[in-house]
Amino acid sequence: MKYRRLGHSGLKVSAIGLGANNFGTAAKWPFHLGQKETSAIIDRTLDVGINFIDTANAYGAGKSEEFIGVALKGKRDQAVIATKVWSAMGDGPNDKGSSRHHVMAQVEKSLTRLQTDYIDLYQLHSWDDDTPIEETVRAMDDLITQGKVRYVGCSNYSAWQVCEAMWTARSHHMNEMVSVQPPYSMLDRKAEDELVPFCDAYNVGILPYFPLAHGLLTGKYRKGQAPPKGSRLAGNDRGMLTEGNLDIVEKLNAFCKERSHTILELAFAWLLSRPAVSSVIAGATKPEQVASNAKTVEWELTEADLTEIDGILNA
């Protein structure tokens, strides 16, 4: 495994991270994972050198954090745990958002579920229009001072929102955000309009999620063929199975075949060619998927490769 600095911090995270949004979801969810499956996946995660595990208090209504806490018992020092706050965790008016009240209440619950006394990276899951950014930034800064959180970041923030949070922290001599999580893949490059240039300039780490474009970049989906039964896009294609996207996938498959690689490996390698990317967050439903994801760090794309890929993506 290869490791990278998390933004402008000194913390090293694995270039491939483990996304835990399937842990503890309702049994009716097609990718539901219980405690036994979660523990097996995390054991394999640590075995292959992945140390970055990303979850949220809302995943599985708290079960994801709970299962991770059990799986990491006796192994806490091997993991860099990232979790999030913002989502509604109850029906009350203060049971959601990024207010000081909600942040302070939820961090205690996350610490309990994770069976730890500190969170490595505490992230704001989304922007909160109802709370002044200074209130939120100061609450996160206080958590670092208290030792309950070591670094802070955000998810689903636009460039101006990350900038606003960082400017507020810098103006008041508080801890700045070290990372941001956007959806980002070869088939979803909206982040490159403003967010990626901002992160490059201010050394904010990017933690892409949906790196496989909801599974379209796994190689499972082909032109003229129905989605495989039980696959993520079989029931709802999320607008991904367009003729244009499938044309791109065919060309990327050919590119990979010429180099004895897979399109899944390319999806990770392409993101890791971006300097601001600290770790690519990838989910897994089986231990062998973790091992497969981890091996993708071995492929380093050349400038010629990247030029050819851009030609395919921009055709």
Residue 227 resides in a domain: no
Residue 193 resides in a domain: yes
Angle at alpha carbon of residue 52, lines to 170 and 198, rounded to 5°: 35
The pLDDT assigned to 245 comes to 87
Q: Which domain holds residue 71?
A: 3-213+274-301
CATH code where residue 297 lies: 3.20.20.100
The pLDDT assigned to 218 comes to 87
Q: How far apart are CA 61 and CA 102, in angstroms?
A: 16
- Sheet architecture: strand order including 80-85: 205-206, 179-181, 149-155, 119-124, 80-85, 52-54, 16-19, 280-283
Q: How far apart are CA 7 and CA 160, in angstroms?
A: 17
Residue 151 resides in a domain: yes
Both structure tokens of 2: 């290869």
Catalytic residue among 3, 59, 151, 157: 59
Residue 41 resides in a domain: yes
Q: How far apart are CA 246 and CA 99, in angstroms?
A: 43
As averages over each run of 10 residues, the pLDDT of the chain (315 residues) reads 98 98 76 91 98 97 97 98 97 96 98 98 98 98 98 98 98 98 97 98 97 89 69 66 87 96 97 98 95 96 97 91
CA distances from 291 to 32, 284, 287 (A): 20, 10, 7
Q: Exposure pattern of 251-260 as b/e (b: 16+ CB <10 Å)?
A: bbbebbeeee
**73 Cβ contact list (under 8 Å, min separation 6):** 115
- Count the Cβ atoms, other than its own, within 10 Å of residue 198: 19
- Alpha carbon 60 to chain centroid distance? 16
The pLDDT assigned to 148 comes to 98
Overall domain count for the chain: 1
Residue 107 resides in a domain: yes
Both structure tokens of 74: 């006796």
Task: Give the sign of the dihedral formed by CA 221, CA 224, CA 225, CA 231.
Answer: positive
In the chain, the amino acid numbered 224 is G
Residue 93 resides in a domain: yes
Residue 306 resides in a domain: no
Concatenate the DSSP letters of all residues of 229-247 into one string.
TTSTTTS--TT---HHHHH
Whether residue 184 lies in the annotated active site: no
Q: How far apart are CA 28 and CA 290, in angstroms?
A: 23
The pLDDT assigned to 179 comes to 98
The H-assigned helical ranges of the chain are 35-47, 63-71, 100-114, 133-146, 159-171, 195-202, 243-258, 263-272, 287-295, 303-313
pTM: 0.94
